[in-house]
């Protein structure tokens, strides 16, 4: 009986990573973005962490980005292509350890699916270069959009407002 439970659990565990999910993860890779570069070109342009986050859909450690605690006025742009993504006025402290916003700027953010954790999450990409930004959740401020765009600081550059 014990062996049967172990086998059943193992089958269940591996079934969460089926081919349908792999197809979802690659959904945005087939989109033609305005800016495309080879891996070598991205590696030459980005830091190791930026490359890991933006091009490999990695995640930085929580509370590791100085942008998480940035309270200046300005615009957050894509670290790979400088596309304006989020305004500082839409940033809020979610307590998660990553910069969080209640809305993006226009259509500058594209959305896809991510099933790497065994369940579907709404993944966010720069609509210009396809760089992975983070994920969007429905637990943001109810007084505004109700969305929490949880973004890796390594995927962003901050441009302060000029006085």
Q: Which of 78, 81, 126, 150 is catalytic?
A: 150
Q: Is 150 a catalytic residue?
A: yes
Residue 101's closest CA among 64, 155, 57? 155
CA distance 8 to 163: 63
CB 123 within 8 A of CB 130: no
Catalytic residues: 150
């Amino acid at each position: 009986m014990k062996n049967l439970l172990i086998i059943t659990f193992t089958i269940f565990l591996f079934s969460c990573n089926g081919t349908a999910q792999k197809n979802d993860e690659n959904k945005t890779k087939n989109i033609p973005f305005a800016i495309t570069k080879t891996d070598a070109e991205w590696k030459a342009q980005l830091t190791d962490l930026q490359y890991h986050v933006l091009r490999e859909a990695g995640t930085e450690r929580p509370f590791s980005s100085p942008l998480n605690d940035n309270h200046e006025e300005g615009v957050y742009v894509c670290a790979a292509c400088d596309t304006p993504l989020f305004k500082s006025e839409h940033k809020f402290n979610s307590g998660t350890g990553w910069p969080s916003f209640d809305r993006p700027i226009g259509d500058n953010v594209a959305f896809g699916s991510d099933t790497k954790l065994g369940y579907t999450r709404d993944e966010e990409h720069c609509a210009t270069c396809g760089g992975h930004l983070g994920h969007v959740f429905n637990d943001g401020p109810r007084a505004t959009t109700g969305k929490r765009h949880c973004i890796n600081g390594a995927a962003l550059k901050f441009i302060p407002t000029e006085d």
